[in-house]
Each structure stands twice: as C-alpha cells, then as structure tokens.
Amino acid sequence: MYQLQEEQRLLDLSKQLAKSDIHEQEAKQLREVIEYADWKYYVKDDPIIADAEYDALFKKLKDFEAQHPELDHQGSPTTRVASGLNADFPSVEHLVPMLSLENSYNAADLLDWDRKCREQSADALLEYTVEPKFDGASISLVYEADQLQRAATRGNGVQGDEITRNAMQIRSIPLKVNMSQYGIRQMEIRGEVVIHKQKFQEYNQKLIDKGEQPLANARNAASGSLRIKDPLEVGRRNLDAFLYHVSDTVMLENQEMPASFRSHAGLLNMMDSLGFKTSSASTRKFSQIQEVIQYVEEFEAHRDNLPYEIDGMVIKVNSLALQEQIGQTSHHPRWAMAFKFKARQARSILLGVEYQVGRTGSITPVAKIEPVSVGGVTISSLSLFNEEVVREKQLKIGDTVLIERAGDVIPYVVKSFPELRQGHETEIVFPTHCPVCHESLYKPESEAVWRCTNLNCEAQVIERMIHFTSKDAMDIRGLGDSLVRRFYEAGFLKNIVGIYHLPFEQIQGMEGLGEKSANKLKEAIEKSKTQPLHRLIFGLGIRYVGETTAKSLARTVEHLSDLYHKSKEEFLVIEDVGEKVAQSIYEFFSHQDNRQILDELEQAGVCMQNVQKQEAMSGGLSGKTFLFTGTMNMKRSEAEALVEERGGRLLGSVSTKLNYLVVGEDAGSKLEKAKKLGSVHILSEEEFMALIG
Ligand code: IVH
C-alpha cells in the first residue's frame, strides 16, 4: 500500500505537524499520518512512531476538531474514541446472506470434496487456496464511497446486529479505504474478530485479581466483546480482525473489477492493498489435493505457536468464475470447505464433585470426570468455579458432559446433556460447612463464591504457604505443593515464617530428601530473602492483590512497613486499585497478627526494602530508553520489566530518542533503521544482561 518513499514523507510530515499550527489542510495531513501509524501498528505489527509522539498528534487533531465542529470530520481516526454508550444493536440485513462452511475432518473427506469439485468444473485447471480458519466471531463490514458505513455480527446469516461503533474500536479495521481506485463504489466484506491469546490471558488475569470469574475461552471473549454497551470498554479488550472474503461489490459507473482480482488470492491481495489485515501471508495456492492435505496437517502441528486461536483451515476454489460454476447450497458454498482440526472438545461422565478450599477460604467445586483425552491431554478433574456455574449449567452427578480445552486455557465444562439422563443421576448438594475445618460457610449477597472464614483453617494455612513459595511470588524452588504439605504435617511449618526456620538436621532424614536436595532447598530459601518487594507483597496472598497490584503497591513505598500507616483513601489513588481492593489491603496491614508475621519475616532476614526504587532513584538505567526486537530467550515482558525496575524507559519505535536497541533472532526493519541512524547502541541479549548486571 505504501512505498518506502511514502513512509518517509509521512514521517517527515509527522515531525513538521508536531510543531506547526493546525488548519484544515494540516488536519487532513494529521489524519493521514495517524491512519498510517495505525496501519503500521495494528495491521503490520511494525510500529513507526513512539507512543508519546502518536498521542501528541492524536490530541492535536482532536483539539482542532473540537474547535471546528462546522467542518466535516467523518472518517477521522478520532471518531473511533467518541464516548457515549450504544443505545441498542439494531437488526440489519446483510447485503448477501452469510453462509457457513461445510466441515471436513480427515484426508478422505478432502479427497471426496476434491472429486466433486473436479466433476463440477469439468476439465478446467483447478487451483485451491488454503488459509487459517480463525476461531472468533464473524463480522461483516460494508464500505461505501471509501468509508466504513456499518459493521454487523453474523446473526442468523441473513440478519445480524449492527455494531459499527464497537467495530470502530478495532484498530486493524480501517475507517477509510481507497477502493474507488479500483472502481468500487460499495463493498461488503467478511472476516473474523479475534482476541489474541496473550491479551485474553491478561484480561482474564485482571478479572481473577479483582475476584471475578474468568471468561471461558478466547472465542466467547471475542463475540461477547462485540456486544458491550460501552465502546471504550470494547477498545480495552484489544480485539483484532482478519478479513477473508469479499461477498459483494458494486462498481462505479462504467468500471469493471480489475482482472487480477478475479480470484480468491487476488481478492486477498486487494484487501491487503486497501489496508485490511488478512491471512495472505499464511495462505498457499495448490493444484493438487494431496498438497492441500499436507499443508493443513503441517499447519495443525503448529497451531499452538500462533498468537490467536484457529480451529482449522479453509480451502477455497481460487478462481471466482469456477466458484460460480460450482455453486452453493442454501447453507454453504460448494466451492469452499473447512478442515477442522482435532476436537478440543470431548464427552465424558461427571462422576462426582469435590470441594477445594483456597488460600482465601474460597470453596471451589471440582468436577471429577471419567478420564478423557481432549486434544492430546488426558483430563480427569476440572474446576466448576462456583455454585452459580453449577446451577447455571444444571449439572447432575452421572450426567454426560461436554469438556473443552482451548490452547493454554484451563479446561472447562461447556454443558451437560439432560436428554441423555437415565434416571440414576443425582443432584449436586453444595456443602454448608468447610470440608476441612468444618466451620460454617459464608457467602456475601453480591458474590458468587462461598468462603470458609476461619483464617486458621488448615487448608487455608497450607495454601497460603504454597502461594508464598510459588514461582511468581518468592520463587522457592524445591518447596512445592507436596513438600509444604509434608512439612506442615510433620509440624515443621505452621506459617510462612517457619520457612526461614526449617530444622534441616531433621529434614535431611526424611524420605526422598537427601543431603543434596536439602542443600539446594536451603540455598533457594536463602535466595528468596532478597526477592524484590513486589514479589513478597504478592506472596502474602492479600485478597484481590494480584501481581499487577502488588507491583503498583511496591512502587509507592521504600519499606514494606510504610504500608502499615496508609489510609484506605491513600490506597485508592493507586492505579488499578478500587474500593474493594483498597479495603482488603487496608484490612490486611491493619491486622496485628499480619504485622507480627511481617516483623518476624524481617527478623529472619527477608528483605522488606524497595531496593529497586532506591536503585532507580540513584541512577541505574534512569534517563535511558530501550526497545526490544526479534525473538529472545527471555520473555519480552520480563526484559521490559527489568528495564523499568531500574528506572529506564521503553520506547515503541526506533528514533533518535532511542539509546538501546536489544536484538534477538530474526530482528528486521527496526535493526536496519537503528543501524542507519547510527546513534542507537545495538545490544545482543547477553550484552543487555551484562549491562543491567
Ligand atoms: S469463508 C462464503 N474463511 O468459519 C464463505 N470463513 O464455520 C464464507 N471462518 O462463518 C466463509 N475463518 O465465520 C471463511 N478463512 C476463513 C474463515 C472463515 C473463519 C468462519 C466464518 C464462517 C465459519 C464457518
């Protein structure tokens, strides 16, 4: 779409615009620059300007438009973020009904389909395209006069819900496309809205941190997000959209579709050139069905490496003329076929329900099922989250249940099949007393979770210690789940302070614990004493305080005891901390028993100082800017945290403001650009580690 020269022109323009006064002409240019920056960031995954620069340009445009309501701002990137709730999602008719696809599951199905296609297309040279089948929510977009007119969900295929304002929140969906250059007046295109696995997990983690129930899978998250009343909340979900089908085009007078677009691959190219996100990079063309089969099988083996979920591949006849010749049924085109990957769903029998007590006393019902293999993993036990979920799904013991496991997401029960009941199924009776300490359970009106409120409940004490030693908290390797339990039963551990006073002479004699592993454990415990403060805070297991909140909390203090004297209001001003969380933090640090434990931890040598804050203030990487590119051994987020912890700043793109570019494998355009600039220090991952010590 844009040549390098064009990119340079826009970059120069962005620098100029940042300084100049804005009039109508400059506003037009600003829009152009912002649209280009959006396209690079959201469609090409290759940002060209830093977040701060982008924000400044965006604000400039917004201010100008606010001062000039008399001018036409239709299609401006600022219209994406207009506030106000969706009143309703009116029903709209698709220009062409949205058909679904026929499914195939194995090579034999594909061979069969290939034979039928060949019969229908007589002797013509048949070519297939093969592309990913995105697992999200389908969407239809109508563009007219080069502008996005409306977006709709699939609905019943004929009519869907109009969700234009929500679709405008998806930054990879362009608001303006130059389709008139191809003679097109109106166009309806189809695609799939997806949420990337990482964004989905981050979103779920936030829900968990807030004590809310996580969403079941990325597909539901995507389709649920499209129907949210508040478009700005849709924006926060970080959705993405892949477009894969042009269902209708109306040409301008005396215009014809360019010949190069008269195939599916051609149309994908056209969509690419208009600025849509497509799967053209992983789409292949084959003339033999055997090659198709090989490609879909290869792709299936790598499905987990993709950043979003796909549930199969779609094979399409490439030529539009042949597509028309082969035709369609009332439900699906005959010229396309979905190849479904191995199910990540399976049926099993619900054998019983057990109740686990968590570290905050939450009672979680856990389904015990007849072991079943789902997408290569055997599952015999899975969480039912809470009583409401059990009621909602109307589960009974003995029921046939449908289990799903998608990607890295924890497996869950989709539903039961009441129609398969035989009469011997029994109701699930929720306990009224804690299964461990037998204290009566309590559930506040507004919550879904029952709790054991006995802080000394054995189960809670043990779970709190397990949480304290866990990887994301104090990371005491070797002191896992089962050893904590054994030490507790042997009387060596009563609370987290006990971890630092373990009687190693006695421990060494325990079964499976030789001198070597005992020494290793000793070392790991010693090392944990100097963990950063946010890990200790997270490890304390304060209700609603997840890793993110623990980090925010740690940033506000120089010593943990500074938290003892803060008021609830002071906690409320911290990022991500709401009423409920503030109350919980306040209660925790006001509690004398908790303070006692913290004092004892400090006496045992656990560091309560915010060393990082002190280091950052006294230099470290302060004032230095970093950017990471390419594939690294370390997680990108970890590397970024290391920089921030030391007072450094992260930039989104290579510019003269950048001090260090850290390059992993397959670094691309960013590395080139940094070399060209000459002012950027280019570091390997090892050099980066050495730099930060
Ligand atoms: S083509 C007329 N291509 O799968 C052909 N569909 O199970 C229209 N889907 O309703 C569909 N990825 O929502 C096509 N690359 C892809 C797709 C795809 C996902 C969805 C689409 C469709 C459903 C059928």
Nearest CA, atom 23, ligand 1: 100
Higher pLDDT: 209 or 607? It is 607
184 touches 252 (CB < 8 A): yes
Nearest CA, atom 15, ligand 1: 133
Q: Do 178 and 320 belong to one domain?
A: yes
Predicted local distance difference test score (pLDDT) of residue 100: 93
What's the CA-to-centroid distance between 101 and ligand 1, angstroms?
6
Average pLDDT score over residue span 598-612: 91
Q: Which of 420, 438, 473 finishes a domain?
A: 420
Q: Do 335 and 353 belong to one domain?
A: no
Tell me, rounded to whole angstroms, the distance of Cα 455 from its chain centroid. 34
Torsion of CA 290, 296, 301, 304, to 10 degrees: 170
Average pLDDT score over residue span 135-146: 96
> Tell me, what CATH number does 505's domain have?
1.10.150.20
Q: Do 394 and 493 belong to one domain?
A: no
- In which band, very low, low, confident or very high, does the pLDDT at 61 lie, cut at 50, 70 and 90? very high
Q: Is residue 93 part of a domain?
A: no
pLDDT tens column, 341-400: 987 889 999 999 999 999 989 999 999 999 998 877 789 999 998 888 899 899 999 999
User: Given the CA of residue 328, which atom of ligand 1 is nearest to it?
Assistant: 2
Average pLDDT score over residue span 439-449: 87
- In which band, very low, low, confident or very high, does the pLDDT at 611 lie, cut at 50, 70 and 90? confident
Q: Do 27 and 145 belong to one domain?
A: no
How far apart are alpha carbons 263 and 335 in whole angstroms?
Answer: 12
- Which residues are within 8 A (CB) of 626 and not within 5 positions of it... i.e. 6 or more apart? 640, 643, 648, 649, 650, 651, 658, 659, 660, 661, 662
Q: Do 548 and 643 belong to one domain?
A: no
Q: Do 317 and 352 belong to one domain?
A: no
Average pLDDT score over residue span 641-646: 83
Predicted local distance difference test score (pLDDT) of residue 615: 60
Q: Do 368 and 351 belong to one domain?
A: yes
How far apart are alpha carbons 56 and 38 in whole angstroms?
Answer: 14
Predicted local distance difference test score (pLDDT) of residue 622: 78
pLDDT tens column, 445-454: 878 889 999 9
How far apart are alpha carbons 218 and 194 in whole angstroms?
Answer: 7
Q: Which of 49, 80, 111 finishes a domain?
A: 80
Average pLDDT score over residue span 75-96: 88
Residue 133 among the catalytic residues? yes
Domain count, the chain: 6
Predicted local distance difference test score (pLDDT) of residue 437: 95
> Tell me, what CATH number does 389's domain have?
2.40.50.140
Q: Do 273 and 135 belong to one domain?
A: yes
What's the CA-to-centroid distance between 558 and ligand 1, angstroms?
54
CB of 138 closer than 6 A to ligand 1? Answer: yes
CB of 41 closer than 6 A to ligand 1? Answer: no
What's the CA-to-centroid distance between 100 and ligand 1, angstroms?
7
Return mean pLDDT, the chain: 90
Q: Is residue 411 part of a domain?
A: yes
Q: Is residue 450 part of a domain?
A: no
Q: Is residue 444 part of a domain?
A: no
pLDDT tens column, 204-263: 877 766 666 677 788 888 999 999 999 988 998 999 999 999 999 999 999 999 999 999
Q: Is residue 373 part of a domain?
A: yes
Q: Do 546 and 506 belong to one domain?
A: no
CB of 65 closer than 6 A to ligand 1? Answer: no
CB of 11 closer than 6 A to ligand 1? Answer: no
Q: Is residue 426 part of a domain?
A: no
Q: Do 303 and 167 belong to one domain?
A: yes
Q: Is residue 453 part of a domain?
A: no
* Catalytic, out of 133, 199, 316, 551: 133
CB of 463 closer than 6 A to ligand 1? Answer: no
Average pLDDT score over residue span 167-176: 96
> Tell me, what CATH number does 686's domain have?
3.40.50.10190
User: Given the CA of residue 279, which atom of ligand 1 is nearest to it?
Assistant: 15
500 touches 530 (CB < 8 A): no
CB of 244 closer than 6 A to ligand 1? Answer: yes
CB of 333 closer than 6 A to ligand 1? Answer: yes
Q: Do 388 and 316 belong to one domain?
A: no
98 touches 160 (CB < 8 A): yes
Beta-bridge partner residues of 377: 374
What's the CA-to-centroid distance between 667 and ligand 1, angstroms?
33
- Which residues are within 8 A (CB) of 461 and not within 5 positions of it... i.e. 6 or more apart? 488, 494, 495
Average pLDDT score over residue span 104-120: 95
Q: Which of 80-94, 338-352, 448-462 has the lowest mean pLDDT?
A: 80-94
DSSP class of 664: -
Nearest CA, atom 22, ligand 1: 100
Percentage of the chain with pLDDT > 90?
63
pLDDT tens column, 407-426: 656 788 999 999 999 999 99
Predicted local distance difference test score (pLDDT) of residue 332: 94
- In which band, very low, low, confident or very high, does the pLDDT at 614 lie, cut at 50, 70 and 90? low
Q: What one-character-per-residue DSSP string does 52-100 give?
A: HHHHHHHHHHHHHHHH-TTS--TT-GGGGG--S------EEE-SS----
What's the CA-to-centroid distance between 121 and ligand 1, angstroms?
22
Q: Which of 595, 613, 631 finishes a domain?
A: 613
Average pLDDT score over residue span 600-608: 94
Nearest CA, atom 9, ligand 1: 133
- Which residues are within 8 A (CB) of 372 and not within 5 positions of it... i.e. 6 or more apart? 346, 347, 348, 378, 379, 380, 403
| Containing structural domain, residue 136 | 103-340
Own/partner long-range contacts of 457-460 (Cβ < 8 Å, ≥24 apart): 457/357, 457/361, 458/488, 459/356, 459/357, 459/434, 460/357, 460/358, 460/359, 460/360, 460/361
CB of 336 closer than 6 A to ligand 1? Answer: yes
How far apart are alpha carbons 19 and 57 in whole angstroms?
Answer: 10
pLDDT at 120 over 60: yes
Q: Is residue 89 part of a domain?
A: no
CB of 134 closer than 6 A to ligand 1? Answer: yes
Predicted local distance difference test score (pLDDT) of residue 273: 96
Q: Do 291 and 252 belong to one domain?
A: yes
